Structure 1
Amino acid sequence: MSAEALRERRAAIGEFRRTEVLVPVVDGALLSAETGGIRWLFAFTERAALERFAEARGENVPDWVPVYGARLLDQVIPSVDGPVGIAVDAGSPTGLVLPPVTGIVPDAVALDSAGAGA
């Protein structure tokens, strides 16, 4: 990864951490999907993006919770069993994927960390 790409990635992660996002709730649980052995939580930067996503999936999303990205990364992800990443604005051209790796999630739950699963 080039130095410029690394700076851009760090800036995007920092912006996500400071942003209040909407996390869809279905049947009392945060909406997520599993693929490739990773659970992906969905988070949206605006209600319209969440509604477009739900409509495209034919999903009924009756509720959502506002939460800062930092809380999702630092508190929610470590509380879920197995590797967890975040799909921000899924289905949108401006979507962002935050995989469970060091520099994004806590080292103790990062897939590429010696402390993973500790």
Structure 2
Amino acid sequence: MGKIRKTYDIEYKLQAINLYLEEGMGAKSIGKELGIAYAIVERWINHYKREGIQGLEEKRGKAKGYNKGRPKIEPLSDAGKIQRLEAENAYLKKLLALKKEMILKRKR
């Protein structure tokens, strides 16, 4: 099973960033004060430095860019299902014929 990761809201992250920027505290002391790992605080600081407040927004589970992520598939109609199955049968018949051919060549 996967780990369940806790998410923090932007206000909480900004509180940590303000402690770093305005109070001059280090990531380890901020982590101790807020009760979180210092690596998380360092990550927030780096994201904030690179992207500003947008860097603190939650990005997990969001597709990036156009046409990214799992495509939305509409259920096939009966005719579409039949067409797909016929194509699958034709493919399997060709595969079986090739396999038989290879077995015959080995026996020779």
TM-score if structure 2 supplies the norm length? 0.26
Q: Which has the larger radius of gyration?
A: 2
Higher strand content, 1 or 2: 1
Q: TM-score, normalised by structure 1?
A: 0.25
Structure number with greater CO (CA < 8 Å, separation at least 6) is 1
**Structure with the largest fraction of helix:** 2
